[in-house]
Amino acid sequence: MMLNDNLQINAAGHLAIGGADTIALAEEFGTPLYVMDEDKIRQVCRMYKSSIETCYGGNGLPLFASKAFCCKEICRIMNEEGMGLDVVSGGELYTAMQAGFPAKRIQFHGNNKTQDEISYALSCGIGHFVVDNLSELELLDETAGEKHCHVDILLRIKPGIDAHTHQFIRTGQIDSKFGFALETGEAMDAAKAAIHAKNLTLTGVHCHIGSQIFEIQPFELAAKVMLGFIRDVRAETGVELQELNLGGGFGIKYVENDQPVPYDRYMELVSNAVHMCCNEYDLTAPKIYIEPGRSIVGEAGLTLYKIGSVKQIPNIRTYVSIDGGMTDNPRYILYQSQYEAVVANKANESADFEVTIAGRCCESGDLIQEGAKIQRCIPGDILAVLSTGAYNYSMASNYNRVPRPAVVFVKDGAPRLAVRRESYEDLIRNDI
C-alpha cells in the first residue's frame, strides 16, 4: 500500500505518480528531480474553494501560502483555480506578478518588510498588507501617502495559542516574533492607529497558529479569540472589522502514522465556531480567508534520486547515498522530519532493508532519513522520497555549489518541465 492515493505501482513494478512512471521521468529529466502531481494540487484547491462556499456562503477566499512552493507555474495554477496568494517577500511577489497573478488577490506577510518591498507591493496594487508591527504601519502609511495610493490592511494578531506543544496551550503571552499581542493592549493600540492612518483602511485581522497541526481545537479556539478581538475593537472604536484571516497550518501525511483530519472537516468545525461566536457577540459574519500551504502541495510532490553507493557498516548501520540531500530537502537536518522512501524501480518488492539515507554534502548531518525501511537496493537504483511537495524546492540551497534540481509537473500521466535544472553557469552568474 502506498502512502498517498496519487501513487501507484504500475505493470513494470515501478512507482508511478499521477499515472507517470517515475523511472521514465528520471531517465527523461535526470535526477535529483522534483515531481508534482497537478491533479492532486487542483483537487485540494477545489476542496478548499467549495468548503468556503458551503461553510461561509462563498464569503471568503482560500489563499495559497506560496512559501511552501513558489514558482511561476504554481502561481498560474492557483490563478486558474481562483485561489488567492499569500507572499512573504518581494521575490515571491515578483514571481506571482511575472506569472500574471492578479495583485488584488495577494496578501503580503512578514515581520520585517523592507521599504523597497513595501514600495514595490504598493506599485503592484496588491490586495492587502498584513501588518506585523507599528514601525511597519507608519512606514506603510507614509509610503502610500508619497505614492498617492490607498491600501487595505489586516493586522497580524498573536491569539496566544501554541499548537505545537504536545497538548496545545493558551498562555498569557506567547513568545513570538510575529504580530501584535492581545494581552498587553498592543493589538488594540495598533487597531486604533490603523483606523486613524490616512492612507490605510483596516479591513480586518489575521492569525496563524503554527504548521503541520492535526487537532481541530486550536483552530476553533483561535477563531473565537479573534472574533472576541473584533468585538472589543467595535466596543472601543465603533468600527466593526469585516475580514478575518485564520491562517494555514493543516497537517499532511508524511508517514503511515500521520492521520490528518480531512480538510473539509476542519473547515466545517471551524466555521461552526465562527458562526456561534458571531451570534454570541452580535457580529456580522466576516469575510473569511484561510492560508493553507503544505496541505495544497505537500502530498502532491515526490523527489527522485539516483543511488550512488550502499555502505554497510557491520552492526552499526547501512548508508544509502543519493545524488541530492540537504540542498534539495533541508527538513531532516532542520527538524528531523519523518519521510517515507521507496526504491522506485523495485516498488513491488518488500521493504525490509533498514537504512540511513544520506545526502552528498560535506556534512555528517546531511541525511534525509534514519531507520528508513526500503527495498533492497544497489547503486544505480532510483529512490523516491514521498510527500516532498512543500518546503523542499522552496527551501533548496546551493550549498557545496550543488545546482538546484528541475521541477516537473505531471498531468494526465504526461510530464512537463516547470523549472529547469540549474547549470554550473547559473551557479556563477552573479560572481564578479
Ligand X SMILES: *Cc1c(COP(=O)(O)O)cnc(C)c1O
Give the annotated binding-site residues for substrate: 294, 331, 335, 363, 391
Nearer to ligand X, 241 or 377 (CB): 241
Among 132, 220, 243, 291, interactor with ligand X by CB under 6 A: 291
* Bridge partners, 303 (sequence order): 34, 385
CB of 144 to ligand X, least distance (A): 22
- 275 three-state secondary structure: helix
Only one of the segments 30-38, 131-139, 190-198, 290-298 lies at the binding site for ligand X (rule: CB under 6 A); that segment is: 290-298
Nearer to ligand X, 22 or 211 (CB): 211
- What does the angle CA 40 – CA 51 – CA 96 come to, to the nearest 5 degrees? 55
Among 35, 51, 56, 67, interactor with ligand X by CB under 6 A: 67
Interaction of residue 127 with ligand X, rule CB under 6 A: no
Only one of the segments 38-46, 180-188, 293-301, 305-313 lies at the binding site for ligand X (rule: CB under 6 A); that segment is: 293-301
Only one of the segments 119-127, 192-200, 244-252, 374-382 lies at the binding site for ligand X (rule: CB under 6 A); that segment is: 244-252
Q: What CA–CA distances, in Å, run from 236 to 193, 198, 229, 230, 233?
A: 12, 19, 10, 10, 5
Instruction: Write down the residue that cell numbers 528520471 correspond to.
Output: 26
Only one of the segments 95-103, 160-168, 186-194, 243-251 lies at the binding site for ligand X (rule: CB under 6 A); that segment is: 243-251
Rounded-to-integer distance, Cα 389 and Cα 195, Å: 40
Question: Which residues, 6+ apart, have CB-to-CB distance to 348 below 8 Å?
Answer: 9, 13
Among 86, 243, 299, 340, interactor with ligand X by CB under 6 A: 86
Nearer to ligand X, 29 or 266 (CB): 266
Nearer to ligand X, 25 or 68 (CB): 68
**362 flagged as catalytic:** yes
Q: Convert residues 98-117 into a mask of x (bound to ligand X by CB under 6 A) and - (unbound).
A: -----------x--------
Is residue 382 a contact partner of residue 346, using CB atoms and an 8 Å limit?
no
Q: Convert residues 246-275 into a mask of x (bound to ligand X by CB under 6 A) and - (unbound).
A: -xxxx-------------------------
Annotated binding-site ranges for pyridoxal 5'-phosphate: 249, 291-294, 391
Nearer to ligand X, 37 or 86 (CB): 86
CB of 157 to ligand X, least distance (A): 11
Rounded-to-integer distance, Cα 134 and Cα 189, Å: 9
Q: Which of 75, 278, 362, 377 is catalytic?
A: 362
Quick count: other Cβ atoms within 10 Å of Cβ 283? 19
How far is it between the farthest Cα atoms of the chain?
73
Is residue 135 a contact partner of residue 182, using CB atoms and an 8 Å limit?
no
Q: Site residues for ligand X, window 165-224 (CB under 6 A)?
A: 208, 211
Q: Are strands 151-158 and 128-131 parallel, antiparallel or unpaired?
A: parallel
DSSP string, 180-197: EESTTSHHHHHHHHHHH-
Instruction: Write down the residue that cell numbers 499532511 correspond to.
Output: 252
Nearer to ligand X, 160 or 248 (CB): 248
* Bridge partners, 382 (sequence order): 306
Instruction: Write down the residue that cell numbers 512537463 correspond to.
Output: 416
CB of 260 to ligand X, least distance (A): 11
Is residue 325 a contact partner of residue 304, using CB atoms and an 8 Å limit?
no
Among 68, 182, 267, 273, interactor with ligand X by CB under 6 A: 68
Nearer to ligand X, 47 or 310 (CB): 47
What's the half-sphere exposure (Cβ side, CA atoms, 13 Å) at 287?
11
CB of 50 to ligand X, least distance (A): 18
> Which three cell numbers mark 317?
548501520
CB of 221 to ligand X, least distance (A): 17
Return the H-helix or E-strand segment holding 24: helix 22-29
Report which DSSP code applies to 143: H
Site size toward ligand X (CB under 6 A) is 16
What's the burial of 217, exposed, middle or buried (CB within 10 Å: 0-12/13-18/19+)? middle
Only one of the segments 27-35, 118-126, 161-169, 286-294 lies at the binding site for ligand X (rule: CB under 6 A); that segment is: 286-294
Catalytically annotated residues: 362
- Can you give the binding site for ligand X, defined by CB under 6 A? 65, 67-68, 86, 109, 208, 211, 247-250, 291-295
